[in-house]
């Protein structure tokens, strides 16, 4: 593995639990630091506590026999006699990483790290060194998330080194330990953490089972868009966070998801431009309940602002506020009628990661997490709350439609 990593700029390592992957990769960082004077090497964990407990003590033990090293506990940094450094960072404080000197980086537990962190912050720094850099991503599978997308991308690129190492192929654990772990863990958990199976259910996910059924029932369809049917949009609007738009068509009881768009830090003008660029015939734009709140700097609601920007063919509805439990149940009830365009498969993977918070002390589930998957999930909830009404409109249209066969001959 190490020889192959040395030949590549990127490494994507999918390794089973208890394989000592973090220790091995820290030893590799140590080797690179001693071999490359005046260079910075980073180990990045999702959270500060993880960086301390997973890597810091191990790094101290690996370095203890090297003379003349300087250990800075407050900054989690070790400086070596050749003026190279290994520094520990954590992803929940990304601004601390900006505009620093960096050649090599390791990102551990990558599925728990925001997917934009590497490309927006880390990559511009290491890319400044031309060919003399590398980036390594490590994780154990957790459904088809952004780490899985990265793994698929890496498999298609000769410059990337990939490793998928289940417990049956690593020879790290003896057979008796493997059998004991298999008996002590749930089958899904063993398949995920020891056999590196991406397709195992996400813990506490609201929609994983329904998405799995959708795929198994061949409701992931290529070229689903029908130009004859009108398009409805469902918005999750935020000013200082992501705004998401779901594009939907209805036919009988079918809910056809044809498109999805999400961006952040943009004004409503940008999203109107996105709508106009798409060759869709729009019926209704559905906004969340807080679109009726007046903004202090304009003294107009976002609904009123959107009506002005969409100055023609405007039909905007604001969805009433409901209990979040009712919204989630409505989405589950609707799922049997949902069809999704195949190019939106990544969107389904993102939705499957929408999950409840869990209190390990009390053993109770709490409200949904507010993270990067929340905005997409909100658009689905708004869709579900209007689903019955939309299918009734389609049925009225079908009943009133009288076919004309006069010119068929």
- The CATH number of residue 110's host domain is 3.40.50.300
Q: Say how far apart CA 99 and CA 338 lie, in whole Å.
A: 45
Q: Which of 162, 193, 224 is the last residue of a domain?
A: 193
Residue 237 lies in a domain: yes
Mean pLDDT of the chain: 82
Rounded Cα distance between 233 and 312, Å, is 16
* Residue 212 CB-half CA count within 13 A: 13
Residue 160 shares a structural domain with residue 277: no
- C-alpha distances in Å from residue 129, one per residue of 3, 30, 97, 297, 328: 21, 20, 17, 45, 48
| 69 in a structural domain | yes
Beta bridge partners of 107: 44, 137
Q: Check: CB of residue 287 under 8 Å from CB of residue 317.
A: yes
**Closest alpha carbon to 350 in 153, 148, 190:** 148
Final residue of a structural domain among 148, 170, 193? 193
Residues 185 and 315 in one domain: no
For the stretch 308-354, pLDDT in tens is 888 666 788 988 887 777 888 889 899 999 999 999 988 888 888 78
Residue 311 in any domain: the answer is yes
Assess whether 243 and 379 both reside in one domain: yes
How many Cβ atoms from other residues are within 10 Å of residue 118's Cβ? 20
Contacts by 215-223 with C-beta closer than 8 Å and gap 24+? 215/348, 219/338, 219/339, 219/340, 220/339, 220/340, 220/341, 220/342, 220/345, 220/348, 221/339, 221/340, 221/341, 221/342, 222/341, 222/342, 222/343, 223/341
Judgement on whether residues 188 and 215 belong to the same structural domain of the protein: no
Q: Tokens representing 3?
A: 């020889």
Residues 234 and 364 in one domain: yes
Per-10-residue mean pLDDT of the chain, 409 residues long, equals 71 86 89 89 88 88 91 92 91 77 84 82 78 79 75 84 87 86 79 76 73 88 93 84 90 93 87 91 89 69 82 79 81 92 89 71 59 83 80 52 48
Whole-number pLDDT of residue 409: 41
- 190-224: buried (b, 16+ CB within 10 Å) or exposed (e) per residue? bbbbbebebebbbeebbbbebbeebeeeebbeeeb
Has residue 203 been placed in a domain? no
In degrees and rounded to multiples of 5, residue 171 shows phi and psi of: 60, 25
For residue 398, give the 3-state DSSP assignment. helix
- Is residue 289 within 8 Å of 321, Cβ to Cβ? yes
What would the two tokens of residue 53 be? Answer: 């407990």
Burial 42-64 (b: 16+ CB within 10 A, else e): bbbbbbeebbeebbbebbeebbe
My answer on whether 237 and 303 are in the same domain is yes
Q: Are residues 16 and 90 located together in one domain of the fold?
A: yes
Distance CA 92, CA 149 (A): 22
pTM for the structure as a whole: 0.57
Q: 180 and 213: one domain?
A: no
Query: Contact at 8 Å (CB) between 340 and 348?
Result: yes
In a domain, 199, yes or no: no
Same domain, residue pair 178 and 221: no
Last residue of a domain, one of 144, 165, 193: 193
Are 13 and 39 part of one and the same domain? Answer: yes
* Closest by CA position to 237, among listed 288, 296, 298: 288
Do 10 and 133 fall into the same domain?
yes
Q: What is the pLDDT of residue 160?
A: 87
Structural domain including 271 reads 208-400
Q: Nearest to residue 237, comparing CAs of 143, 303, 158? A: 303
Do 219 and 188 share a structural domain? no
Is 405 within a domain? no
Q: Which CATH number goes with the domain that contains 300?
A: 3.30.420.240
Place of tokens 């900054």: 75
Report if residue 407 sits inside a domain. Answer: no
Domain count, the chain: 2
Residue with tokens 């049956």: 168
């Amino acid at each position: 593995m190490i020889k192959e990593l040395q030949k590549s700029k990127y490494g994507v390592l999918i390794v089973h639990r208890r394989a000592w992957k973090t220790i091995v990769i820290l030893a590799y960082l140590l080797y690179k630091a001693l071999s490359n004077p005046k260079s910075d090497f980073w180990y990045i964990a999702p959270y500060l506590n993880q960086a301390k407990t997973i890597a810091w003590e191990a790094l101290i033990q690996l370095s203890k026999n090297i003379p003349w090293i300087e250990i800075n506990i407050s900054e989690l940094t070790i400086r070596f006699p050749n003026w190279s450094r290994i520094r520990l960072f954590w992803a929940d404080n990304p601004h601390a990483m900006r505009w620093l000197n960096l050649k090599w980086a390791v990102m551990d537990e990558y599925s728990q790290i925001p997917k934009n962190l590497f490309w927006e912050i880390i990559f511009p720094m290491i890319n400044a060194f031309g060919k003399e850099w590398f980036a390594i991503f490590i994780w154990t599978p957790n459904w088809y998330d952004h780490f899985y997308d990265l793994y698929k991308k890496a498999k298609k690129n000769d410059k990337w080194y990939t490793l998928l190492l289940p417990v049956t192929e690593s020879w790290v654990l003896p057979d008796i330990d493997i059998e004991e772990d298999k008996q002590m863990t749930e089958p899904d958990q063993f398949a995920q953490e020891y056999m590196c199976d991406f397709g195992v259910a996400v813990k506490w996910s609201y929609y994983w089972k329904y998405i799995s059924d959708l795929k198994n029932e061949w409701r992931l369809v290529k070229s689903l868009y029908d130009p004859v049917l009108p398009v409805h949009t469902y918005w999750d609007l935020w000013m200082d966070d992501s705004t998401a738009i779901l594009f939907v068509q209805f036919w009988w009881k079918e809910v056809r998801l044809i498109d999805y768009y999400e961006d952040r830090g943009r004004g409503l003008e940008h999203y109107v431009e996105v709508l106009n660029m798409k060759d869709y015939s729009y019926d209704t734009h559905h906004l969340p309940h807080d679109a009726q709140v007046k903004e202090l700097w304009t003294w107009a609601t976002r609904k009123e602002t959107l009506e002005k920007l969409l100055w023609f063919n405007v039909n905007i509805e604001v969805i009433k506020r409901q209990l979040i439990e009712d919204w989630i149940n409505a989405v589950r009830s609707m799922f049997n009628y949902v069809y999704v365009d195949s190019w939106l498969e990544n969107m389904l993977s993102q939705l499957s990661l929408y999950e409840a918070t869990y209190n390990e002390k009390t053993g109770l589930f709490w409200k949904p997490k507010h993270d990067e998957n929340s905005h997409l999930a909100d658009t689905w909830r708004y869709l579900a709350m209007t689903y019955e009404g939309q299918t009734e409109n389609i049925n009225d249209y079908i009943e009133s439609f009288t076919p004309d066969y006069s010119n068929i001959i």
